[in-house]
């Protein structure tokens, strides 16, 4: 009985919460991407782990026409470091109008079939 109890205690100690068995450095290479021209959902990611260091990048098409690119490295000695870039020229809608009658005097604008409405602010300002 004592031997069985000791075996259970030893087995329980090695499986306690927070216990980590290091089986050596991990290695993987991961790629992911979406290119849906209909919805504009364009993004990709690449990540490589070599031991305890992870290197990767991801990019995505922003709604203003630019592309965000993030390159990162993470490891036990330098922590997480990322460089964020924005590529391209931002495009903004050109057709704005003020005082639409159907909006009760608020600000309104149209962009490619979508419509945006801004009414009086909480300060009572109405244009």
Decide which of 41 and 11 is more confident: 41
**3-class SS of residue 12:** helix
Question: pLDDT confidence of 23, banded at 50, 70, 90?
Answer: confident
Model pLDDT for residues 29-54, shown as the tens digit of each residue? 999 999 998 988 999 999 999 999 99
Asked if 70 and 83 touch (Cβ cutoff 8 Å), the reply is yes
Alpha helices in the chain (DSSP H): 2-14
Instruction: Look up residue 118 and give its two tokens.
Output: 């801004």
- 81, 72 Cβ separation under 8 angstroms: yes
């Amino acid at each position: 009985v004592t031997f069985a109890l000791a075996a259970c205690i030893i087995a329980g100690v090695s499986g306690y919460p927070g216990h980590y068995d290091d089986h050596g450095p991990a290695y993987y290479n991961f790629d992911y991407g979406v290119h849906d021209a209909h919805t504009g959902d364009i993004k990709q990611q690449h990540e490589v782990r070599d031991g305890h260091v992870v290197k990767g990048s991801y990019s995505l098409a922003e709604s203003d026409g630019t592309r965000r690119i993030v390159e990162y490295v993470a490891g036990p000695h330098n922590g997480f470091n990322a460089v964020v870039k924005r590529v391209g020229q931002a495009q903004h809608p050109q057709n704005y109008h003020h005082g639409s009658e159907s909006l009760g005097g608020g600000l309104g604008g149209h962009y490619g079939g979508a419509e945006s409405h801004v009414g009086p602010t909480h300060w009572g300002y109405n244009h």
